[in-house]
Amino acid sequence: MSIGGLARTRTSLVAWLVGWSLACGAADRPGDSNSTDDETGSHESESESESESESESETGAEPEPSDGALATGDPEAHGLDPAALEDLRDWAFGPEMLTQALLVLRHGVVVAEWYDPFSGPEEWVTSWSMAKSVSATLIAIAIQDGLIPSLDEPLTTYIPEWSGTESEAISLRHVLAMATGFAWGESEGNLADLAAMAFSSDQLARALDQELVAPPGEVWNYSSGNSMLLSRVLTVATGMSAEAYAIQELAGPLGFDRFEWWRDGAGNTLTYCCIDMTARDTARLGKLYLQRGIWDAEVLLEPSMLDELTRAHQDDNPSYGLHFWLNAEGGAPDRVTVPRSLFFARGHDKQLLMVLPEQELVIVRHSRFTRPDGPAEAPDGLLEAGMMLAGLGGATGTWPPGDAWDDTLLLELTLEAIVD
């Protein structure tokens, strides 16, 4: 690389890291009450599927399940006020919001589905850190299938090189709860560790080489390095890559339209980030969680395992479960105006999958995404592969919403549409 090219790469790296720190958990620390996760984006539009849904409601016909058992229905038939949903759409696709897709499900049925003018239901979106929740789901499935003994299995079962070291006390539960005790600066906005991993050719090797600074189980510290360890766990436990196991256990049974999970130069699935799919595929995941792991009368995820994923396993941040975000009093976040039963997956630039079980609601939001050409491979790191914040100068990646974006307001506006 030329000196000029290196300088440009360094500039892009700084921009990428700033964006990641704003959206991946560094802003949420225990004690920050009523956290709102501010950020924004642009444009509004309706998908053709919404028009089809309106046509169905005018005739009174029962909606037919679409491919992947994702049905569409009339909002009023599912206890939602169409005018209030329009207010939600107007806000979410307002100036500088840069929302690519927004879907609302009630009772497992899509009652609102909108896209910006540049997109549609067939277009790619990306997960960023929402992939952490998918990785945890795969771990839970592997446990119920007998491939992993329990959440308390020592990591040395899958990482034997840790035997005889301080890290041998770390269990799978510690990893999923973000309580390994490793030094990793992501929660405090120090992203040197993340950068060293995300922009390397073998990201798993970097995740395996972490410094233990606290006893496992005592300190909550959000870390993509923890999540990357799950790539090794799933590969050893299942005999296949995390991506292949996800296709077998989730994407295939749920009828995903598209599914590609990014890999590093060593072929490791990036279990901390970077699943490319469609917004409807994200909605399928949300419907699975809403239905407590049941899909077409088949148990894909045991309800008891979902309960484990969506409760806190450490005292430092009660709003974090096992790679799922929660909404507990005194936690981070602590949203006092929305139900405590909320659990969600999120990624930077406001990729959101929110589940409200008591209200039987699922909310999906994705920011505008321009996917790099070629396969989902990052042989020289994510930046070189084009996975970055497009809004900060790159031609590909995701576009961040502006300061008017508010996750709590998204939830409040959706809840206000309930009339039953």
Confidence at 168, pLDDT banded by 50, 70, 90? very high
Please give the span between the terminal C-alpha atoms of the chain, in angstroms, as a whole number. 61
Residues near 85 by beta carbon (within 8 Å), at least 6 away in sequence? 75, 104, 111, 112, 417
pLDDT score, position 2:
30
In a domain, 168, yes or no: no
In a domain, 197, yes or no: no
pLDDT in tens, 264-289: 999 999 999 999 999 999 999 999 99
Q: What is the DSSP letter of 59?
A: H
Q: Are 158 and 236 in contact (CB under 8 A)?
A: yes
pLDDT in tens, 7-30: 334 444 444 454 554 444 444 545
pLDDT score, position 390:
57
pLDDT in tens, 311-347: 999 999 999 999 999 999 999 999 999 999 999 999 9
Strands (E) in 123-220, as ranges, are: 125-126
Q: What is the DSSP letter of 353?
A: E
* Count of structural domains within the chain: 1
pLDDT score, position 247:
98
**Overall average pLDDT of the 401-406 stretch:** 95
In a domain, 410, yes or no: yes
In a domain, 300, yes or no: yes
Return the CATH number at 360.
3.40.710.10
pLDDT in tens, 228-250: 999 999 999 999 999 999 999 99
Does residue 35 surpass a pLDDT of 70?
no
**Overall average pLDDT of the 203-220 stretch:** 96
In a domain, 114, yes or no: yes
Alpha helices in 316-391 (DSSP H): 382-385
Q: Are 281 and 259 in contact (CB under 8 A)?
A: yes
Residues near 278 by beta carbon (within 8 Å), at least 6 away in sequence? 121, 122, 123, 124, 125, 256, 257, 258
Task: Confirm whether pTM is higher than 0.75.
Answer: yes
Q: What is the percent of the chain with per-residue pLDDT over 70, rounded to a whole number? A: 83
In a domain, 172, yes or no: no
Helix axis angle, 130-144 to 224-238, nearest 10°: 30
pLDDT score, position 158:
98
In a domain, 105, yes or no: yes
Among 180-184, 190-194, 348-352, the minimum mean pLDDT is found in: 190-194
Confidence at 54, pLDDT banded by 50, 70, 90? very low
**Overall average pLDDT of the 362-390 stretch:** 93
User: 3-state SS of 16-27?
Assistant: HHHHHHHHCCCC
Q: Give CA 17 to chain center in angstroms.
A: 18
The token pair at 275 is 């699943």
pLDDT score, position 394:
76
Question: 391 is in which domain, residue-wise?
Answer: 3-150+240-416
Confidence at 392, pLDDT banded by 50, 70, 90? low
In whole angstroms, what is the distance from residue 323 CA to residue 289 CA?
14
In a domain, 89, yes or no: yes
| Mean per-residue pLDDT of the chain | 87
